[in-house]
Structure 1
Amino acid sequence: MSIKSIAAKLFAKHITKKMANWSSKPVETQQRVFETLIASASETQFGKDHHFETISTPEAFRKNVPIRDYEALKPYIDQVVEGVPNILWPGKPLYFAKTSGTTSGAKYIPLTKASMPTHINAARNAILCYIAETGRSKFVDGKMIFLQGNPKLEEKNGIKLGRLSGIVAHFVPNYLQKNRLPSWETNCIDDWETKLNAVVNETISEDMTVFSGIPSWVQTYFEKLVEISGQPIGKLYKNLELFIYGGVNYEPYRSKFEQLIGRKIASIELYPASEGFFAFQDSQTEKGMLLQLNSGIFYEFIKVEEFYDENPQVYTIATVEVNVNYVMIISTNAGLWRYNLGDTVMFVNKNPYRLVVSGRIKHFTSAFGEHVIAKEVEESLQIASEQFPIEISEFTVAPQINPKEGLPYHEWFIEFNNKPKDLSQLAKAIDQALQQQNSYYKDLRSGQMLQCLKITSLPKHSFAKHMESIGKLGGQNKVPRLSNDRKIAESLEQFK
């Protein structure tokens, strides 16, 4: 065992002990974060506009500060982007994480001196929890790959900006620099196909032990490696130990990954976003991800079915319940105040607080009042796949409101790695599973308001071609699982 491997075990023990301290006192931890946030920003423009000097409780906070999404907070963010200090947080941000927006075009999410370390530490701690729990640390001696965005940064009014994954690349600890792939030059390639080939060339002969990235794009990378090497990933990389992922559910990809690798490997799920690093999988035996309660983020939650009410009830960490679907509202040490991230989450444990990401409040199918969410379609597909020998590359669901004949239905666009002989039987299995997941959908089906869902099978690479057509082909972009309209469906129909 190397010195680095031994050191990793000792460090893991130290960090997990510190984590146990705050996770065992969740309410006190969140109260401390809340008080620090309010005190730190009381002299900012936002703090003055919302009378932070009078706020001492979360209840007063809710009365003074409305919930906002990016578009509503944009007048403040625009001032920050212009270089004006002390608007949302003291001073100026270190960076802007630039993301694609909706109605507002490009979005500029501030990253501050206070918030930046939480992004780095959470990713590190996820790996340390794995080491502490399993006792396995030899993999730290091998090479690790992180499929990410271009680390080259632009500058706007004296503040650097780029993709979050590209910004984070500047903070990789020194002890990992020699282990990290691909090279800086390769990471700077913008064209995804060119970058993919370069990554393959750099890694195919290395001792790779850890892979990290969005599952759909890592799968594409694995397929390229298998095509060139002529052998499964697990044979090519005999010491491969871990797959670290975030952004989408891994389960629809797991069977294909295991086929490409030739064996099972451990995985760690992360919940990062430009707005904050919220949770990570801290255990290989427990369901869900540990919510980061001490990372400069104060959390509030609203039940999904009540979110659009005039005065919905707001829950804190002290009052949430398990197995309830919540919209997550955040206030952060980057200056996002009662910010609607758009994500929906569900707690699976309260000792400690672990959750799963259930979807997006805007990414759902409810054209008929069913309000089907991502978690439900993913679990339905997983249940059905146990009955059929299928492997899915990618999928999305859209409503078909005006079919040429018959009742309306949900249309599932699926890119199969191995297409089943009878799509109608698979559709029935998924439909039945979805009825078990969602009582509203079940009522619509039994009430003859909807017919059984239909599957549209797409050729290989259809989703990649769709993403390329909208300028989002690359390892950090993903297709929404659900839509409430047919914009994505219409784009995919051309590939049928």
Structure 2
Amino acid sequence: MRIKVLAAKLLAKKVNKETQKWSSKPVETQQKVLQSLIKQATKTKFGKDHHFEKIKTFVDFAQYVPVRDYEELRPYVDLVVQGKEDILWKGKPIYFAKTSGTTSGAKYIPLTKESIPFHIQAARNALLSYIHETGNADFVKGKMIFLQGSPILEEKNGIKLGRLSGIVAHYVPNYLLKNRMPSWETNCIEDWETKVNAIVEETINEDMTVISGIPAWVQMYFEKLQEKSGKKVGELFKNFSLYVYGGVNFEPYRAKFENLIGRKVDSVELFPASEGFFAYQDKQNEKGMLLLLNAGMFYEFIKTDEFFTENPKRYTIGEVELDVNYALIISTNAGLWGYNIGDTVQFTSLKPHRVIVSGRIKHFISAFGEHVIGKEVEHALKDAMEGSSIRVNEFTVAPQIAPETGLPYHEWFIEFENEPNNLEDFALKIDEAMRKQNSYYDDLIVGKVLRTLVITKVAHNGFQEYMKSIGKLGGQNKLPRLSNDRIIADKLKSL
């Protein structure tokens, strides 16, 4: 086991040196990536349609390749799905990551032999970065669990398809196979509640050292462990030292996790998606995640307040500023070109480039022109809970445009673990924190266009019931923090 720890530390040192090299030359690194992508795709249908042979600079690229979302790129994707070659990328993809789009139905995101290794490498390097910084490599001796989708794959016109987490399960390095949990059989269980119960049975007596997954679903796992054992998770797993997560902000869950675990553990945040693995937390005491500039992806950024205007400016890595909200646009070695992934980011550091995920370009509230984003509601809730015993399991926010009486307001649906003594006082604290962050919202309150927010309590496991009712319980499914309509709100009220 000591050999395994030593090997991990040596590899961590090597990877850190490589990371320093490319992250210290961000513009040069991204220019090389763009040139490589264009060169490899010049003879594809997309490359011919968009004059790749004429593209020498980013200015050329922006001239010939428009920003598109999935629906706009779909005519090309449909050809790839039909089994046609050399459409978006040379040859055929080796997988499709199948995701459920809100407007597009099923979405098929191509994964190629060039792109897959970067997904695996980034996840590995996130752990190695943590080892290099902290010197803690003892967790490699214990068991690791990754709560994910089923690895069972379907096939469409000779190309395998499944959820991204299920696809990457086929690429677990040999040296991790003995440490990895749950078993293949348990991972293949489709029903999420049945699966979590089986994972509890398999892991409850093991030496779990690393646990990874979306906070809401790991919380469910922890609660079932505690229910079955009568012990805190940290007592049950004495060597549990690292929690790895991605997809949502962990801060609203942190207090609840520390209570379930019984102590603090280090955490590492990831920013993975079917379209690419974009960033990971490289420092425990620095805000943000290191943007992966050498991972087969070229990044562009559009300011969110300009995004819906005609011909908004497209910024490259050398032009971005701190604390500005940007829509993230990518071009990749899986054949996505000028692709709007839907996530918004803010830079917390430019040397090196670190980002936080600030929300979704389509997940916001601006029913009255307030432009509220996910980062703001999460921070407001955190600020309101600071120094109290209040704990929240889950929440979402929607506008109430036509209340039966009084002014319109923002309605916060919150599932509490520990409720505040006075719900109205707690709502006022959240409201004050929102007004400090968002001047538009403050103006609407002052101008008596809106009244202060209203909290609607959601019953225990209410959000799980909601996700189950729409067929999205478990796996990598996430509850939107914000909606600009009442679809989720009305469903929650009807449960």
Q: Give the TM-score, by structure 1 length.
A: 0.99
Q: Which amino acid aligns with 1:75?
A: P
Distance across 2 between alignment mates of 1:103 and 1:477 = 16
Structure-to-structure mapping, 1:109-124, within 5 angstroms: 109-124=109-124
How many residue pairs are counted as aligned between the two chains?
A: 495
Aligned-partner SS, 2:86: coil
Q: Report how far residue 101 of structure 1 moved.
A: 1.4
Distance across 2 between alignment mates of 1:354 and 1:274 = 20
Q: Report how far residue 35 of structure 1 moved.
A: 0.2
Q: What corresponds to 1:306 in structure 2?
A: 306
Distance across 1 between alignment mates of 2:429 and 2:388 = 9
Q: What corresponds to 1:126 in structure 2?
A: 126
Q: What corresponds to 1:439 in structure 2?
A: 439
**Residue-by-residue CA offset, 1:191-239 (whole Å, 9 max, x unaligned):** 0111011000000000000000000100010000001101101110110
Structure-to-structure mapping, 1:71-82, within 5 angstroms: 71-82=71-82
Structure-to-structure mapping, 1:29-48, within 5 angstroms: 29-48=29-48
Q: What corresponds to 1:11 in structure 2?
A: 11
Q: Report how far residue 314 of structure 1 moved.
A: 1.3
Q: Which amino acid aligns with 2:169?
A: A
**Residue-by-residue CA offset, 1:27-84 (whole Å, 9 max, x unaligned):** 0000000000000000000000000000011111111111100000000000000000
Q: Which amino acid aligns with 1:89?
A: W
Q: What corresponds to 2:212 in structure 1?
A: 212
Q: What corresponds to 1:267 in structure 2?
A: 267
Aligned-partner SS, 2:256: helix
**Residue-by-residue CA offset, 1:8-40 (whole Å, 9 max, x unaligned):** 000000011001100000000000000000000
**Residue-by-residue CA offset, 1:444-494 (whole Å, 9 max, x unaligned):** 111111000000001101000000110001131110000000000011012
Q: What corresponds to 1:157 in structure 2?
A: 157
Distance across 2 between alignment mates of 1:436 and 1:350 = 25
Distance across 2 between alignment mates of 1:491 and 1:181 = 35
Distance across 2 between alignment mates of 1:340 and 1:314 = 12
Distance across 2 between alignment mates of 1:101 and 1:355 = 25
Distance across 1 between alignment mates of 2:387 and 2:370 = 25
Aligned-partner SS, 1:417: strand
Q: Which amino acid aligns with 2:261?
A: I
Q: What corresponds to 1:235 in structure 2?
A: 235
Q: What corresponds to 1:246 in structure 2?
A: 246
Aligned-partner SS, 1:306: coil
User: Does 2:69 correspond to 1:51?
Assistant: no
Q: Which amino acid aligns with 2:380?
A: S
Distance across 2 between alignment mates of 1:342 and 1:194 = 32
Q: What corresponds to 2:2 in structure 1?
A: 2
Aligned-partner SS, 2:105: coil
Q: Which amino acid aligns with 1:177?
A: L
Aligned-partner SS, 1:354: strand
Aligned-partner SS, 1:106: strand
Aligned-partner SS, 1:406: coil
Distance across 1 between alignment mates of 2:353 and 2:103 = 34
Q: Structure 1, unaligned stretches of length 5 or more?
A: none
**Residue-by-residue CA offset, 1:325-381 (whole Å, 9 max, x unaligned):** 000100000000000001000000000000000000000011000010000000000
Aligned-partner SS, 1:196: helix
Q: Report how far residue 286 of structure 1 moved.
A: 1.0
**Residue-by-residue CA offset, 1:70-105 (whole Å, 9 max, x unaligned):** 000000000000000000000000100000012221
8 Å CA contact 1:92–1:112 kept in 2: the answer is yes
Q: Which amino acid aligns with 1:472?
A: K
Q: What corresponds to 1:458 in structure 2?
A: 458
Q: Which amino acid aligns with 2:146?
A: F
Q: Structure 2, unaligned stretches of length 5 or more?
A: none
Structure-to-structure mapping, 1:336-355, within 5 angstroms: 336-355=336-355
Aligned-partner SS, 1:349: strand
Q: Give the TM-score, by structure 2 length.
A: 0.99
RMSD: 0.7
Q: Report how far residue 389 of structure 1 moved.
A: 2.1
Q: Report how far residue 285 of structure 1 moved.
A: 1.5
Distance across 2 between alignment mates of 1:383 and 1:104 = 36
Q: What corresponds to 1:475 in structure 2?
A: 475
Distance across 2 between alignment mates of 1:157 and 1:43 = 22
Distance across 2 between alignment mates of 1:406 and 1:57 = 56
Q: What corresponds to 1:424 in structure 2?
A: 424
**Residue-by-residue CA offset, 1:384-433 (whole Å, 9 max, x unaligned):** 00154210100000000000111100000000001112111000000000
Distance across 1 between alignment mates of 2:85 and 2:253 = 45
Distance across 2 between alignment mates of 1:29 and 1:111 = 22
Q: What corresponds to 1:101 in structure 2?
A: 101
Q: What corresponds to 2:177 in structure 1?
A: 177
Aligned-partner SS, 1:463: helix
8 Å CA contact 1:388–1:426 kept in 2: the answer is no
Q: Which amino acid aligns with 2:235?
A: K
Distance across 2 between alignment mates of 1:245 and 1:4 = 24
Distance across 2 between alignment mates of 1:266 and 1:66 = 41
Structure-to-structure mapping, 1:286-325, within 5 angstroms: 286-325=286-325
Q: What corresponds to 2:487 in structure 1?
A: 487
User: Does 2:401 correspond to 1:374?
Assistant: no
Q: Report how far residue 106 of structure 1 moved.
A: 0.3
Q: What corresponds to 2:390 in structure 1?
A: 390
Aligned-partner SS, 2:433: helix
Q: Which amino acid aligns with 1:358?
A: S
Distance across 1 between alignment mates of 2:62 and 2:452 = 43
Distance across 1 between alignment mates of 2:352 and 2:104 = 38
Q: What corresponds to 1:223 in structure 2?
A: 223
Distance across 1 between alignment mates of 2:104 and 2:316 = 30
Deviating beyond 2 angstroms after TM superposition, the runs of 4 or more aligned structure 1 residues are: none
Aligned-partner SS, 2:396: strand
Identical columns (%): 67
